[in-house]
């Protein structure tokens, strides 16, 4: 299984974690994060979400983020899955699973990957609501979150 | 309206396209193959006796598009610039949605190539899975859209609005067969993505390399604005840039054959 996947079809977080851990007895901690489509965002009554991406660059950006996480923490496995296309409220959008010998590394690396995915991977969301469609604007808070990981010299 | 494949005497003939102007043609077709949910699960898990089903069907579809003229009597042989075959596994409806996009710069349309790619990809799926499911059914093979040419653009109505999730080359299943630009001369392929594409009303455009006064992104922006005033919108709001899929800035150098994408700040996750 590849470390990074961009796909239209849905995923099963439990199944992905099971496959990641299959035949491994050296892993002591596994942390999984699943992002879901909310029906309330910038406007209420979100009926659907379209996710566009830049094929090729997307995969490379996710691989680079996974590489960076692996260089900062002693990780034993990383899996990043991001969906594209049209999604409905309640659908899973993104999955990050990180395995390590100890919990701290797994928690932190998972958090790190999500913060950087939101600010560096070329995905764009458009929301479809009762009052029209609109592209979601970037959030300053996401950049603030990603900056937390910068090493001060 | 008349049937162009019949001559004045009502006999079949191949249309002479020698005097038609070349233009960029693109066609997208789709189809569906229904199967038992267990077959679909096996397909998804790679558990079928003939091996990697989707990869094989994808190659079959691409090959078929290139050989359409050998199958359909009055079709011209075409030098396609792009063939893309994509599959979507639909668990809810126990089927695989198959789609194909073909493109070329030429004198005839590519809808037959797209339809042939879908048909042969579906047949290959049947062949690869028939050991476990003989009751599979192929259906709804149809043209979704075509652009370019004298008869104008066509888009099937009544469908849910298509979401463009593919905004660049390099997606699984896409084969670049050579031509990347509309022109013969060295050029930069420019893409506008997501909100920027909708705001400017431009998806892809090629810029002759010699139109750039300097070989960098800043000069490319000036050349774009000189070509088309809509590109003034590149200066509105925060617009990011990638050269050959790596983040770049105004000073980033360019060479002929580069791919440059402009896009709004990202909002995934």
Q: Model confidence at B180, in pLDDT bands (50, 70, 90)?
A: low
What's the CATH number where B130 sits?
Answer: 3.30.70.640
- Substitution target in A5, A7, A55 with the highest count of B β-carbons within 10 Å is A55
In terms of average pLDDT, the best of A51-60, A104-113, B133-142, B204-213 is A104-113
Domain extent listing, chain A: 4-147
Range of the domain at B205: 187-263
> What span, in angstroms and rounded, lies between the C-alpha atoms of A112 and A72?
10
Go through chain B and tell me how many residues it has.
Answer: 269
B14: helix, coil or strand?
coil
B133 and B46 both lie in a single domain: yes
Q: Is the minimum CB–CB distance between B54 and chain A shorter than 8 Å?
A: no
**A96-147 tens-digit pLDDT:** 999 999 999 999 999 999 999 999 999 999 999 888 889 999 888 998 899 9
Sheet order of strands, A46-53 included: A85-87, A46-53, A123-129, A132-135
Q: Is the minimum CB–CB distance between A51 and chain B shorter than 8 Å?
A: yes
Residues whose CB is less than 8 angstroms from the CB of residue A46 and which lie 6 or more positions away in sequence, other chains included:
A37, A38, A39, A40, A89, A127, A128, A129
Chain B partners of A133 at a C-beta cutoff of 8 Å?
none
In terms of average pLDDT, the best of A120-124, B55-59, B168-172 is A120-124
Q: Do B246 and A118 touch (CB under 8 A)?
A: no
- Lowest mean pLDDT, pick from A55-64, A132-141, B238-247: A132-141
Tokens of residue A126, six digits: 């458009």
> What span, in angstroms and rounded, lies between the C-alpha atoms of B158 and B48?
36
B129 and B51 both lie in a single domain: yes
CA angle at residue B201 from B160 to A143, to 5 degrees? 85
* pLDDT score recorded for residue B2: 62
Residue ending a domain, among B143, B176, B209, is: B176
B172 and B52 both lie in a single domain: yes
B61 and B149 both lie in a single domain: yes
pLDDT > 50? residue B116: yes
B164 and B214 both lie in a single domain: no
pTM over 0.95? The answer is: no
Tokens of residue B117, six digits: 């790619």
Among the partner-chain residues A57, A118, A139, the one whose CB lies closest to the CB of B168 is A57
* pLDDT score recorded for residue B163: 41
Q: Which of B134, B124, B76, B130 is nearest to B100 (CA)?
A: B124
Q: Is residue B153 part of a domain?
A: yes
Sheet order of strands, B240-243 included: B204-208, B187-192, B259-263, B240-243, B246-248
The CA–CA distances, whole Å, from B180 to B51, B64, B258 equal 33, 21, 10
Q: Is residue B5 part of a domain?
A: no
B28 and B96 both lie in a single domain: yes
* pLDDT score recorded for residue B182: 57
Q: Which of B239, B161, B136 is nearest to B196 (CA)?
A: B239
* pLDDT score recorded for residue A153: 43
B193 and B170 both lie in a single domain: no
- Lowest mean pLDDT, pick from A62-66, A78-82, A138-142, B114-118: A138-142
Residue ending a domain, among B142, B176, B210, is: B176
Interface size, chain A vs chain B, as Cβ–Cβ contacts under 8 Å: 106
Mean predicted confidence (pLDDT) in A68-89: 96
Mean predicted confidence (pLDDT) in B154-158: 63
B166 and B194 both lie in a single domain: no
Binning chain B into helix, strand and coil, the percentages to the nearest 5 are 30, 30, 45
Go through chain A and tell me how many residues it has.
Answer: 153
Q: Is residue B181 part of a domain?
A: no
DSSP A22: T
Q: Do A94 and B269 touch (CB under 8 A)?
A: yes
What's the CATH number where B234 sits?
Answer: 3.10.20.30
* Angle between helical axes of B111-129 and B53-66 (0-180°, round to 10): 150
B132 and B207 both lie in a single domain: no
The CA–CA distances, whole Å, from B130 to A28, B64, B97, B138, B198 equal 43, 20, 17, 12, 44
- Lowest mean pLDDT, pick from A15-19, A118-122, B35-39, B42-46: B42-46
DSSP B229: G
Q: Is residue B13 part of a domain?
A: no
Known catalytic membership, residue B90:
no
A96: helix, coil or strand?
strand
Residue ending a domain, among B132, B153, B176, is: B176
User: What's the CATH code, domain A4-147?
Assistant: 3.90.1170.40
- In B195-224, the residues whose Cβ lies within 8 Å of chain A are 195, 198
B49 and B91 both lie in a single domain: yes
Phi, psi of B130 (to 5 degrees): -65, -20
Q: Is residue B269 part of a domain?
A: no
**Domain tally for chain B?**
2
Q: Is residue B17 part of a domain?
A: no
pLDDT > 80? residue B155: no
- Substitution target in B174, B180, B200, B266 with the highest count of A β-carbons within 10 Å is B266
Q: What is the DSSP string of B53-103?
A: HHHHHHHHHHHHHHTHHHHSTTPPP---SEEEEEEEEETTTTEEEEEEEEE
How much of chain B, in percent, has pLDDT values that exceed 70?
A: 85
* pLDDT score recorded for residue B157: 54
B202 and B171 both lie in a single domain: no
Q: How many CB atoms lie within 10 A of CB B153?
A: 10
Q: Is the minimum CB–CB distance between A32 and chain B shorter than 8 Å?
A: no
Q: Do B268 and A54 touch (CB under 8 A)?
A: no
B120 and B139 both lie in a single domain: yes
């Amino acid at each position: 299984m590849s470390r990074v996947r961009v796909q239209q079809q849905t995923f099963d977080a439990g199944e992905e974690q099971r496959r990641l851990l299959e035949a491994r007895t050296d892993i002591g901690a596994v942390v999984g994060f699943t992002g879901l489509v909310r029906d309330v965002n910038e406007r209420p009554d979100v009926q659907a979400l379209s996710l566009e991406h830049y094929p090729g660059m997307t995969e490379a950006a996710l691989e680079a983020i996974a590489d960076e996480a692996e260089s900062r923490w002693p990780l034993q496995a990383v899996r990043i899955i991001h969906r594209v296309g049209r999604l409905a409220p309640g659908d899973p959008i993104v999955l990050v699973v990180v395995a390590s010998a100890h919990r701290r590394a797994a928690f932190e690396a998972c958090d790190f990957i999500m913060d950087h995915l939101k600010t560096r991977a070329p995905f764009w969301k458009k929301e479809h609501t009762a009052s029209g469609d609109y592209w979601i604007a970037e959030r300053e808070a996401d950049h603030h979150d990603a900056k937390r990981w910068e090493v001060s010299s | 309206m008349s049937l162009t494949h019949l001559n004045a005497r009502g006999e079949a003939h191949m249309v002479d396209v020698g005097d038609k102007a070349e233009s960029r043609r693109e066609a997208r077709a789709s189809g569906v193959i229904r199967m038992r949910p267990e077959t679909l699960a096996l397909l998804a898990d790679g558990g079928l006796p003939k091996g990697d089903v989707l990869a094989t069907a994808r190659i079959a579809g691409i090959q078929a598009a290139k050989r359409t003229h050998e199958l359909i009597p009055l079709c011209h042989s075409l030098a396609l610039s792009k063939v893309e075959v994509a599959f979507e596994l639909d668990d809810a409806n126990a089927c695989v949605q198959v789609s194909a996009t073909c493109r070329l710069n030429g004198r005839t349309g590519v809808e037959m190539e797209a339809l042939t790619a879908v048909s042969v990809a579906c047949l290959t799926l049947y062949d690869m899975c028939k050991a476990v499911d003989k009751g599979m059914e192929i259906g709804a093979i149809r043209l979704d859209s075509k652009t370019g040419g004298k008869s104008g653009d066509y888009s099937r109505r009544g469908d849910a609005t298509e979401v463009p999730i593919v905004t660049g080359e390099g997606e699984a299943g896409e084969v670049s067969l050579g031509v990347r630009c509309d022109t013969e001369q060295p050029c930069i392929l420019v893409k506008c993505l997501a909100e920027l594409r909708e705001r400017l009303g431009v998806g892809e455009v090629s810029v002759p390399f010699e139109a750039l006064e300097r070989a960098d992104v800043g000069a490319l922006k000036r050349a774009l604005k000189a070509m088309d005033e809509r590109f003034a919108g590149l200066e509105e709001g925060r617009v990011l840039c990638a050269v050959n899929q790596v983040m770049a800035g105004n000073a980033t150098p360019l060479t002929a054959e580069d791919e440059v994408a402009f896009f709004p700040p990202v909002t995934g996750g």
